[in-house]
Amino acid sequence: MHITILTYGSRGDIQPFVALGVELMRSGHNVRMAVPALFKEFVMAQGLEFAALSGDPQALLRSDAGQELLKAGANGLKFLKSFGDLVRLDLPGVLADSLGACDGTDLIVATGFTFWGLEISQAMNIPCVFANVNALSPTREFAIPSVPSGLVPPILNKLTYPLSQHSGQIFSRSSPERAVFQ
């Protein structure tokens, strides 16, 4: 089986999925990692096939939009606006690259940062599974990991899970880049 793992972000976002890819390869599967170009050597050193996704997550965080995101802290509205501004900087290229990376694959593994993997799988009529390195089951103990600590009062922690899932769907549906999949 040919599996494409779509993931984006820092080394900490990429490395766990490279480990997954290595284990899938050891089990006899062909694995392609679709990740930012700055991780090419790391991915290929593990014997995995590499497909570049546009953009540089480190440069994004150094940009004005990235600095605004970091400054947003626990200000929920400012955080969401800054996150949207930041994502839109690289999104058109990343979506097109993701689509190309999935050509000829039998299964897509998507992560929280590559929620568009589901739309690609539907457009290509292939299965998609989501893999995450943190808990995504709603709990009152803490908010969904993508929400900065202290952003919401503890009593609302459990509510952040469905809100996060719906915000990804809303962003995806309203994004002009969505046309890439049609």
Question: pLDDT tens-digit profile of 44-98?
Answer: 999 999 999 998 878 877 888 778 777 776 666 777 777 777 667 677 888 899 9
C-alpha dihedral over 106, 127, 110, 38, to 10 degrees? Answer: 20
**Structural domain boundaries enclosing 34:** 2-181
Contact 151, 79 (CB under 8 A): yes
Could you give the number of structural domains in the chain? 1
pLDDT at 170: 46
pLDDT at 167: 56
What is this structure's pTM? 0.74
- Give the CA angle between residues 37, 44, 99 to the nearest 5°: 50
Which CATH number fits the domain that encloses residue 153? Answer: 3.40.50.2000
Question: pLDDT tens-digit profile of 34-54?
Answer: 999 999 999 999 999 999 999
